[in-house]
Structure 1
Amino acid sequence: MTSRAPARPSRVPRTSQAAGRLRGIDAARGLALLGMMATHLLPTFEANADLTPTWIGLTFSGRAAALFAVLAGVGLALSTGKQVPPQGPALNAARRGIALRALVIAAAGLSLGGLEVNLAIILVHYAMLFLCILPFLGLKLKALCAWAAGWIVVSPVLAYLLRPWLMAANPPLNLGHNPSWEDLSTPFPLLGDLFLTGYYPVFQWLSYLLVGLVIGRLALTKAMVPVLLLAGGTAVAALAKALGTAAMENWGGRAALEAVLNAPGYPLDSVLQVNLTGIPQEGSWWWLAAAAPHSATTLDLLHTCGVAAAVVGVFLLLGRLADWLDLDLLLPLRGAGAMTLTLYSAHVWVVSAFYLKPLPAGWTEAGMYWAHAATAIAVGIVFVLLKWRGPLELVGHAANQLGRGGRAGLR
């Protein structure tokens, strides 16, 4: 009787599925960073009377920042138990660590807020979102889904009712500029701006972190989860945008809003496609039927959450493909995505150096964007290959470890 030959070991990928999943999340975050840079440096409207949207505005406006926020929720889920949310002392430790990390992000944002720059800096709002998500970290998947769905539906309505009251205060409870250290001396306008009247209203934007927590609590290593994220996210995004377009163009919404604005010739149709920031959304319930970028309505939140889920699904699948091919296909994006706080802050600082100044001779807006993007990619690749954290990520990590009760060494 001959002995049976041992089975030949199957080809083992260089990295595990878990590593591939994390690479995909970092790569998606890198894409979000490059998308936000594009909206900062490239025109989102043509320079004509109709404000014709550019492809940059149609593609990235509202979606890049929302993806960034959803990925924050995904990252928090992955760092706090993945599918199993922490409980008891572990939950308290996680909350302390995230709270201290949020303070580091807020400090960076408040410092950048003192720069003269024509950008809406997200970091202080981002930090506030980290603090607001703390009560939800211990919830299981079903409860998270219920909270996310409810917040997407209810928060825009409450915001619509509260914004006029905040703006009617004397002085109005908004800033009209990026939050800076000086604004800490006037806490009520600062909080009003952060939560409801500013560029990134935390009250509605909490929906993004809740959806991110839901995604991060899924079994992302299972074969069908990325496919479901891609298919489901695409369907939700398409349906929300279709409903918003129909409400505005076919059911009388845009005509009603034009009557409220009472600004003949104003290209509201273009603005609804790219960016509703700066227009007071009051005087008509039709504002809540729009799916316009940066409107923070239910349809806008659904659309951008759907896009974010689909992008996460795509990059998870690409991460698996990279494992199978044993090639780091996502390195250019994941390097930048692993140090977005540092790269975003450096990007804002560089942009501020050119505020109200002509571009260097021979440079164009497109050239400036590609210089920023290429630098972010190159620096990210170097740091990830050397297994370094970005400088601000290092401080954030130390703060997180200190909050959790561990050693706070900058490693």
Structure 2
Amino acid sequence: MSQADHRTAELRRPGGAGGTGSGARAGTRLIGIDAARGLALVGLIAVHILPAEIDETGDPTVAFHLFYGNSAALFALLAGVGLALSSGGRSPHQGRRMVGDRLGLAVRAALIGTIALIAAAIMPNGGSEPGILLYYSVFFLLAIPFLHLGPQSLFLSAALFGLAGPLLLQYVGPLLPESSADNHTLVNLVGEPAGTASELLLTGIYPALPYMCFILAGLGIGRLDLRNTSVVARIAGIGAALAVAATGISSILLYGLGGYERLLETPGMTEDLLYEAIAFGPDTVPNDSAWWFALVTPHTNMPLAIADSLGLALLVTALFILAGRRFVRWLTPLAVTGTMTLTLYTTHLLVLSTEIHEGLPAVWFVVHLAVAVAFAMCWSHWRGQGPLERPVTAIVRRSRQLVDPPSPGDSTGPMAKRDAMSR
């Protein structure tokens, strides 16, 4: 059997790189989830390196349209799916097992937050791009009370966060203190607790309250029967319809019902500034008009923008789950990359902070991507879990076993051996 065949067999095997280690789920479908996570990592690398604006015209680039906001939303959705799979899938754990799941998730959040703080402290001048890891730790903490819920309750909760988050962002956000850093360090956390908390929860680039819509939607998806082709196809259809509807409603509100003209009446607003706000998003969403809710621009975290990114994330996830059943070998490099995103993303941020990528962005994007995939394939073949994933998984497993000891003969206990950013 060749190395590729060995790798394919491992990805198919429950408890392998693509398995959950919890129940007899179909391992092949999880290749699609890991591959989708790998694609989200590719998108975040693109966002950090490739330009967002075409110099000659001032219009958004293809990379901006494809990845800005959407990659982070896909990451968050898949994190929710991972949380569901590690806590019982279609049948959420109960009793001590659920207590163990909650404790493990709290420990995981603390570990990822610690890694984020250490990375930010290492990066020169705080780094050139804000990272998502510290926000992730907050996502996981906020997800703890929802871990036991079924899909309907989770989807309803996701919708509530998708509406309440933007309202709080627009009307409460301007009143909150700011932090002096994009990548928060322990110094910021201690010296500016209010400003750091405000950004992590509401006003930062990946604010936890709006992003809980993606986390909880992913949790709900993970509680469905993802072995059922019709269920997965329905997820894809709903995702596509949601994205199309969000974009269409935004266009109708702005250009059919007078929203553009109303926004142009904002004090100090010009047509050029409004074009920038609609195309790229304003630095801060003004709180003087509800018409700003019509924006579908990435990272504005307005309701339609959230709906658009959520729809695309659902569509991509479903398509990759389906593709993972037929194209295992083709998806293997991307899937293996998706199993160690904590290691690869952290390393990417550290390298990015050196700013050696400032020239030839396309070349550096290919370099970052090629090195990430090559490292993931080699490390996974020889060592298994990623350098950061392995200790995080071990610590979380032991913390869960404090309240949910493994049964006799079970060498892994209830802890699923999965990527540290997937749950």
Same fold, judged at TM 0.5 (above): yes
Counterpart of 1:349 in structure 2 is: 350
Task: Provide the C-alpha distance between the structure 1 equivalents of 2:139 and 2:273, rounded to a whole number of angstroms.
Answer: 33
Per-residue deviation, 1:180: 1.0
Task: Provide the C-alpha distance between the structure 2 equivalents of 1:112 and 1:256, rounded to a whole number of angstroms.
Answer: 44
Task: Provide the C-alpha distance between the structure 1 equivalents of 2:286 and 2:395, rounded to a whole number of angstroms.
Answer: 39
Counterpart of 2:36 in structure 1 is: 28
Residue 66 of structure 1 aligns with an amino acid whose one-letter code is: A
Going from structure 1 to structure 2, the CA distance change for 1:237 and 1:69 (only over 3 Å counts) comes to: same
The share of aligned pairs that are identical, in percent, is 34
Instruction: Work out whether residues 85 and 138 of structure 1, in 8 Å CA contact, stay in contact via their aligned partners in 2.
Output: yes
Counterpart of 1:268 in structure 2 is: 274
Counterpart of 1:130 in structure 2 is: 140
1:19 maps to 2:6: no
1:90 maps to 2:97: yes
Going from structure 1 to structure 2, the CA distance change for 1:267 and 1:54 (only over 3 Å counts) comes to: farther
Going from structure 1 to structure 2, the CA distance change for 1:253 and 1:395 (only over 3 Å counts) comes to: farther
1:236 maps to 2:242: yes
Task: Provide the C-alpha distance between the structure 2 equivalents of 1:295 and 1:312, rounded to a whole number of angstroms.
Answer: 23
Task: Provide the C-alpha distance between the structure 1 equivalents of 2:188 and 2:363, rounded to a whole number of angstroms.
Answer: 35
1:334 maps to 2:344: no
Counterpart of 2:62 in structure 1 is: 55
Task: Provide the C-alpha distance between the structure 2 equivalents of 1:300 and 1:135, rounded to a whole number of angstroms.
Answer: 26
Task: Provide the C-alpha distance between the structure 2 equivalents of 1:58 and 1:40, rounded to a whole number of angstroms.
Answer: 14
SS in structure 2 opposite 1:211? helix
Q: Superposition pairs for residues 11-410 of structure 1, below 5 Å?
A: 15=12, 18-48=26-56, 51-114=58-121, 115=123, 116=125, 117-166=127-176, 172-185=177-190, 186-260=192-266, 262-264=268-270, 266-273=272-279, 275-276=280-281, 278-322=283-327, 327-354=328-355, 359=359, 364-386=360-382, 388-405=384-401
Size of the aligned set, in residue pairs, is 382
Counterpart of 2:21 in structure 1 is: none
> Which stretch has the larger CA shift, 375-384 or 75-84?
375-384
Per-residue deviation, 1:154: 2.5
Bigger radius of gyration among the two: 1
SS in structure 2 opposite 1:353? coil
Per-residue deviation, 1:267: 4.3
Per-residue deviation, 1:261: 5.4
Task: Provide the C-alpha distance between the structure 1 equivalents of 2:44 and 2:112, rounded to a whole number of angstroms.
Answer: 17
Residue 279 of structure 1 aligns with an amino acid whose one-letter code is: T
Q: Deviations over 1:279-318 (max 9, x none)?
A: 3432211111211111111111111111111001110111
Residue 148 of structure 2 aligns with an amino acid whose one-letter code is: G
Going from structure 1 to structure 2, the CA distance change for 1:84 and 1:358 (only over 3 Å counts) comes to: closer
In structure 1, stretches of 5+ residues that fail to align are: 1-12, 167-171
SS in structure 1 opposite 2:329? coil
Instruction: Work out whether residues 80 and 222 of structure 2, in 8 Å CA contact, stay in contact via their aligned partners in 1.
Output: yes
Residue 401 of structure 1 aligns with an amino acid whose one-letter code is: R
Counterpart of 2:17 in structure 1 is: none
> Which stretch has the larger CA shift, 67-76 or 393-402?
393-402
Per-residue deviation, 1:270: 4.4
Going from structure 1 to structure 2, the CA distance change for 1:350 and 1:192 (only over 3 Å counts) comes to: same
Runs of 4+ in 1 over 6 A off after TM superposition: none
Residue 208 of structure 1 aligns with an amino acid whose one-letter code is: F
TM-score (norm 2): 0.85
Counterpart of 2:16 in structure 1 is: none
Per-residue deviation, 1:265: 5.1
Q: Deviations over 1:311-370 (max 9, x none)?
A: 011101111113xxxx52211110110000100011111111126x864xxxx1100000
Residue 200 of structure 2 aligns with an amino acid whose one-letter code is: L
Residue 376 of structure 1 aligns with an amino acid whose one-letter code is: A
SS in structure 2 opposite 1:83? coil
